[in-house]
Copies of this chain bind each other. A is one copy, B any other.
Amino acid sequence: MSEPVLRAAARPQLRLRTPGGEHRAQVETILRDTAVFHDFEIDIAIEVFDAFLANPGQDYCALGAFTQDGSLVGYVCYGPTPCTTGTFDLYWIAVAPAAQRTGTGTRLLQEVERRLARSGARLVLIETSSLPRYEATRTFYARRGYAVTARVPDFYADGDDRLIFAKRINASDVRQTRQWKPGKTSFEEA
């Protein structure tokens, strides 16, 4: 019966803020513990996290979900899509297994969308695989308003297609969302 307790405890106490170099090891641990990512994907995720640390907000932005004691339990990495106007890629969103099913991923995603809407973004893209092991990932995005806008057959490997999820965002949508659910979110601005 540990999970319901953990859910109740984790939901109200999360704080969202920008992670720093001191969280690099925790980021890597979360990526490994999800058991979703290949080693080479984790290597790339860490390279990207380092690029974010070197120039925060230039090519990459990051946002972390922290417990009251300061432990990182989830993080998201996103950034402007090169050669586009107002399009952003959400590169990774990962939540530690113990903090999954507590709304952590949803809060990270909503906060990213809120920040992007404020910065004039039009479109958020998320790419993932068509393989069965990514079904939970695809369902997560589909339930949060993302739809498959394109599919590249055999992209990752033969039989492993690239699915591109897209969601249009704009400032008024985000303001409405926040009016509908007052008090449900409390963020520390980075």
Chain A interface (Cβ within 8 Å of chain B)?
A: 40-41, 44, 81-87, 122-123, 125, 149-158, 162, 164, 166
Q: State A40–B84 Cα separation when bound (angstroms).
A: 10
Q: Once the chains bind, are B157 and A86 in contact (CB under 8 Å)? A: yes
Q: Once the chains bind, are B158 and A122 in contact (CB under 8 Å)? A: yes
Q: State A138–B59 Cα separation when bound (angstroms).
A: 29
Q: Once the chains bind, are B44 and A84 in contact (CB under 8 Å)? A: no
Q: Once the chains bind, are A83 and B41 in contact (CB under 8 Å)? A: yes
A46 to chain B, nearest CB (A): 13
Of chain B, the residue at the smallest CB distance from A152 is B150
Of chain B, the residue at the smallest CB distance from A151 is B150
The answer, among B44, B122, B152, for a CB contact under 8 Å with A83, is B44
A146 to chain B, nearest CB (A): 13
Q: Once the chains bind, are B157 and A153 in contact (CB under 8 Å)? A: no
